[in-house]
Structure 1
């Protein structure tokens, strides 16, 4: 019987984290382990976990703040199960999540990645469909009616064109995940990098949208957040797309290389951020966003 690890890298809102934990404990399939790695210093959190009294729950508080990428890498190192979920500390599992993905593995043993059905909720838990998620589903995601398996260059082209995946909802084959892990040089685009790395190793993804089993929380970008509109996050994205385009060329995946160089989904995201940057008077941010959105991709060996 396949067992699952739910790895929960935590930092931030205590109540949302508690909701995420309760959603794991409410699974109809009880055969799992939940490991929470606390990268914060909220005083009442350790006591709350001690009071749960559930032997499936393992709570660890970091001695010092590791930051997002290093805490994610720690989650991978401490995972043990055949399949692993690295869920967000503010996301919510439907009660049948584990029952559903376990059934998918039984139907397709050894599958490397499983992207189940997802709905997006806002900070209050209401189901929403904003511009980003509409673009993901209508423009970039493959049209799947039920189940579909994708792998190799086909999936690489799809996600490099526009990353339509919901990373915290994915179940990863543990052996493959632990072999690859997260690249330490990325802090924003590490989820896409992981998927492409696994595709290069020959792993496949099973996409199943026949049932919604996960709530992905998307918080509104605060107008008061200067950092959100500086455009610096796209500097990392551009660096990644340039590097991965070269790898795709070397592998002979020319369509994937072109998708990486053009990275239309990332460009569209930068464009959507520009009005907010203008309203905030972030001139440098507008320049950074415009540079990412409108600078032609580096030509390869097409």
Structure 2
């Protein structure tokens, strides 16, 4: 195991993998965990699907750090997330997407970040975006968030908190949820909202910030985030479904933040400018799919004035 200076007091990192979908991509994600330079991790896979031969593949790994279980009934994305949170045993964990990849230094990098700022609840590493084939990729949404909202990478670790951070993320959420390391105790108090399916990560993050928790931005790139048309968020975006959920969330959280005394963050929530731009970028896809109702929904979401 690679020794990481200053992390001797940290426990094992729990890597939770809620799985549903492509078996080959999931297996690649698991292999990226097995290839870590820092071996002090535990992988728990909660399979919400019924694909054949998956339990046998995990049994063939013969690694006691890898735990696999298959749900008797399909729970859906958010309930499976909540189950993963309940199964966390360590002080810190990550919720790895089953189509994403850890770079070999991920555990080493994130354990060092936690050791440097142990009182934070959210730790975001540097991320490389890839496509279906594993090639580096980008999108208009990623570029907008990187240039307008994400802090500049100066090579130094940043610690962010409070209303400025909440307003920033509600304007444009530049975090990559599957790459984040979380302090387990803070998340277990809240967990994921069962009434949300594609924006539940932002809801959790904003609530943690509202409660006074800190976000650490780690400059070292340690994660590969996959964007492809088969993802839940992409399919729901094309249909326009995700934006109805987004409108409801942003309006609710704006009222809550007004009551919390954070008017700047409340205004950012009501405007949610980057989500409106995202809706506009999805219109061509809806047109290609000849989804006239989705086109109307997307345009209505993007162009309606915030209340």
Same fold judged by TM-score > 0.5? yes
1:201 counterpart = 2:211: yes
Counterpart position of 2:199 = 189
Do the aligned partners of residues 193 and 228 (structure 1) sit closer, same or farther apart at CA in structure 2, a change above 3 Å counting?
A: closer
State the distance in 2 between where 1:280 and 1:94 align: 35
**Deviation at 1:228?**
4.6
Stretches of structure 1 that go unaligned for 5 or more consecutive residues are: none
1:100 counterpart = 2:100: no
Counterpart position of 1:150 = 160
The count of aligned residue pairs is 295
Counterpart position of 1:121 = 130
State the distance in 1 between where 2:252 and 2:195 align: 12
2:69 maps to which of 60, 72, 76:
60
State the distance in 2 between where 1:258 and 1:237 align: 15
**Deviation at 1:227?**
5.6
Q: Check whether the contact 1:221–1:228 (CA below 8 A) recurs between aligned residues.
A: no
Structure 1 vs Structure 2 CA RMSD: 1.4
State the distance in 2 between where 1:235 and 1:227 align: 10
2:301 maps to which of 292, 296, 299:
292
Q: Check whether the contact 1:35–1:59 (CA below 8 A) recurs between aligned residues.
A: yes
**Deviation at 1:284?**
1.1
**Deviation at 1:112?**
0.8
Do the aligned partners of residues 92 and 227 (structure 1) sit closer, same or farther apart at CA in structure 2, a change above 3 Å counting?
A: closer
Q: Which runs of 4+ in 1 moved over 3 A?
A: 225-228
Give CA deviations for 1:194-230 in whole Å, capped at 9, x if unaligned: 1001111111000022x211000001369xx986522
Give CA deviations for 1:58-103 in whole Å, capped at 9, x if unaligned: 1010001111111111111111111110010011101110111111
Q: Check whether the contact 1:234–1:270 (CA below 8 A) recurs between aligned residues.
A: yes
1:130 counterpart = 2:135: no
**1:30 aligned counterpart, secondary structure:** coil
**Deviation at 1:13?**
0.8
**Deviation at 1:185?**
0.8
Stretches of structure 2 that go unaligned for 5 or more consecutive residues are: 1-8
Counterpart position of 1:34 = 43
Counterpart position of 2:253 = 244
Do the aligned partners of residues 226 and 14 (structure 1) sit closer, same or farther apart at CA in structure 2, a change above 3 Å counting?
A: closer
**Deviation at 1:25?**
1.2
**1:180 aligned counterpart, secondary structure:** coil
1:273 counterpart = 2:278: no
User: Where does 1:250-261 land on structure 2 (aligned, <5 Å)?
Assistant: 250-261=259-270
Counterpart position of 1:69 = 78
**1:9 aligned counterpart, secondary structure:** strand
Counterpart position of 2:172 = 162
1:174 maps to which of 163, 172, 184:
184
**Deviation at 1:243?**
0.1
**Deviation at 1:179?**
1.0
State the distance in 1 between where 2:99 and 2:147 align: 25
State the distance in 1 between where 2:236 and 2:104 align: 36
State the distance in 1 between where 2:230 and 2:33 align: 27
